[in-house]
Amino acid sequence: MSFPTRPLGQSPLMVSPLCFGGNVFGWTVDPSTSFALLDAWLGAGMNFVDTADVYSRWVPGHVGGESETLIGQWLQKSGKRKQLVLATKLGKDMGDGKVGLHPKYIKQAVDASLTRLQTDYIDLYQTHDDDPNIPLEDVLGTLGELIQAGKVRAIGASNYSAQRLAEALDCSDRHRLARFDSLQPLYNLYDRAVFEKELQPLCVARNVGVINFYALAAGFLTGKYRSEADVGKSLRGAKTTSLYLNPRGLRIVDALEQVAAQYKAQPGEVAIAWLLQQAGIAAPIASATSLAQLQSLVTAATLQLDATALAALDDASRED
């Protein structure tokens, strides 16, 4: 199977309709399974993988860089670097003062990521968080130097407000600096309001490709979390309790199950398919910890929901 690629913003990158979230590598997925998932992802016709230097520093005994290290080992073993659009991020706290977007630190962080990834270039290098303490001209200027040096092909932003993203795009235009060609925001069928109110219109108008995270709301939109008793089903399950396990969340899952039955699909597949039909979305980011879960993501990319299904999902996910 192969999927048509699409441009990511105004960058030279052509990406598959879905992006594999690499936060699971070295966390909930061991090395051998990580390698199998990466092989299967490319084998299924996808080419886009996202990670970050900080993955998975939150795990006891980890220091960050575990995901990048595993991806790097796979790249060396597989020889498939040219088939992959590889994205990573910097800026989250790595300890020992390694945090933020100071120009000196950006240059240190990119070299550390390149070493762990065992590659000489990163396709998409993203600022994991905004850093209001550093002038945008300095951040964009330094990232532009990385592009000029061949270490990075394109740059993107994550977790930026609409105001700050607009300021960054204006800064790039005004000073002829490298521009953010992608945005990585929180967006899914439950978490809609913040993105749709200001970020989505901005990204569409300014041609910034959206690669949203939590596409399945930490697994909640798969329908496997229906009660407090279900929370222990996975390491990520606890996150769904306070965030999504409420009347609105359950209403959304009910609608997903109804649409899924019509399409002979799974609820999570419908949730991904809905995202793929939203304006400005380039490639939702979703993770898998098994080959079966990965195949479900691939199936989702083939679903085309009709107007009735889309309306039912929109109605169920309206804010209370």
Q: Please list the pLDDT of the chain residue by residue as tens digits (320 residues).
A: 779 999 999 999 999 999 999 999 999 999 999 999 999 999 999 999 999 999 999 999 999 999 999 999 999 999 999 999 999 999 999 999 999 999 999 999 999 999 999 999 999 999 999 999 999 999 999 999 999 999 999 999 999 999 999 999 999 999 999 999 999 999 999 999 999 999 999 999 999 999 999 999 988 999 987 766 656 655 555 555 568 999 999 999 999 999 999 999 999 999 999 999 999 999 999 999 999 999 999 999 999 999 999 999 999 999 87
Which neighbouring-strand residues pair with 319? Answer: none
**In the prediction, which pLDDT does 242 show?**
64
Res 107: pLDDT: 98
The answer to whether the beta carbons of residues 131 and 167 sit under 8 Å apart is no
Alpha-carbon span 103 to 140, nearest angstrom? 9
Q: Which of 32, 95, 33, 31 shows the shortest CA–CA distance to 58? A: 95
pTM over the 0.85 mark: yes
**How many CA atoms lie less than 13 Å away from 285 in the CB half-sphere?**
25
In this predicted structure, what is the pLDDT of residue 319?
86
Cis peptide leading into 16, omega within 30 of 0?
A: no
Helix (H) and strand (E) counts in the chain = 12, 10
Predicted confidence at residue 243, as pLDDT, reads 85
Residue 237: the pLDDT is: 54
Token code pair at residue 69? 């290290």
Could you tell me how far CA 70 lies from the centroid of its own chain? 18
| CA dist., res. 70 & res. 249, Å (int) | 35
Dihedral sign for Cα 175, 53, 293, 315, please. Answer: negative
* Phi-psi domain of 280 (left: phi exceeds 0; alpha: psi -120 through 50; beta: other): left
Active site residues: 55
Q: Hey, how many other C-beta atoms are within 10 angstroms of the C-beta on 134?
A: 17
